[in-house]
Structure 1
Amino acid sequence: MRKPVIALLTASVLLATSASVLARDLEEDMDILNDSYKAVLKTDSLSEMKTELTTMRAAAMDAMKATPPKLEGKAPDSPEIQEYHKGLTLLVGQIDGALKLADAGKLPEARAAAEEFKQTRNTYHKKFR
């Protein structure tokens, strides 16, 4: 009788831990996006801008693998999840545009393009945060 109880408790702890790790990973991705965004807006270095934009892109791509807590339990093909992915896809496209400008040596234009990320963030945070 004791072994099944221990096995059940262990399984419960593992499930609870894995759920918190998933949420933490999304939270980390969002923190990375936020920190890198601030750096992109402040930097006067093309090299740093490219690095931060690349970091943002990787975090946004990783965030697509996660589900926001507000959408937990929704089917992967639900309209809400599709809208969440649409927002991140839009952000990745904007990041790619800013990266192209930075690659062309157009720092002020890349920074101006990055300013548009804020509107995307605000729109999708209202829906999913």
Structure 2
Amino acid sequence: MKRIGQMLGAVTLSLAVQSVFAADLGQDMETLENNYELFQETQNTQQALTALTAMQKAVLDAKQSIPMKLIGQPDNSPEVLGYRKALDGLNTELTQTLALVKAGNLQQAHEQAIPAIDNMRKANHQKFR
């Protein structure tokens, strides 16, 4: 009976930890979504820089978690590695976009980044959501 209680405790703790990770990841994804919308709509360089910087911070934070779909997968599984690689790709795109905006090329940043980020989002939501 004591063993069953220990097992139930372990399962409960595991579920609690998973929901905390999911909530943090959910917040990161919400930050990405809100700031991406702002970036798409703004013609103001400072607003674009602020939005892109917030997105980059959310991407780096999101790498500390994994989506619910991947819970239980080992850290070195192809799925988890693919998830982290997708976030690295988004981070690279954001770094390039920040450089364009800082150089005064907001319009070019919009033209290059928006289709690229849209494609990344579509492909990776299909895989990991």
Q: Distance in 2 between matches of 1:106 and 1:123?
A: 27
TM-score when scaled to structure 2?
A: 0.88
Aligned positions, number: 126
* Residues 1:79 and 2:67 aligned together: no
The match for 1:57 is 56
Distance 1:15 1:81, change over 3 A: closer
The match for 1:105 is 104
CA deviation profile, 1:98-125 (whole Å, cap 9, x unmatched): 1000000111011122211010010111
For structure 1, the residue ranges without an aligned partner over 5 or more in a row are 1-6
Runs of 4+ in 1 over 4 A off after TM superposition: 7-15
Q: Distance in 1 between matches of 2:82 and 2:36?
A: 22
Matched position secondary structure for 2:84: helix
The match for 2:118 is 118
Distance 1:77 1:11, change over 3 A: closer
**What's the offset of the Cα at 1:12?**
6.5
CA deviation profile, 1:64-103 (whole Å, cap 9, x unmatched): 1101100111110111111101110000000011100000
**What's the offset of the Cα at 1:16?**
3.7
Q: Distance in 2 between matches of 1:74 and 1:9?
A: 21
TM-score when scaled to structure 1?
A: 0.88
Q: Which amino acid aligns with 1:71?
A: L
**What's the offset of the Cα at 1:15?**
4.6
**What percent identity do the matched residue pairs reach?**
35
For structure 2, the residue ranges without an aligned partner over 5 or more in a row are 1-5
The CA RMSD measured in Å over matched residues stands at 2.1
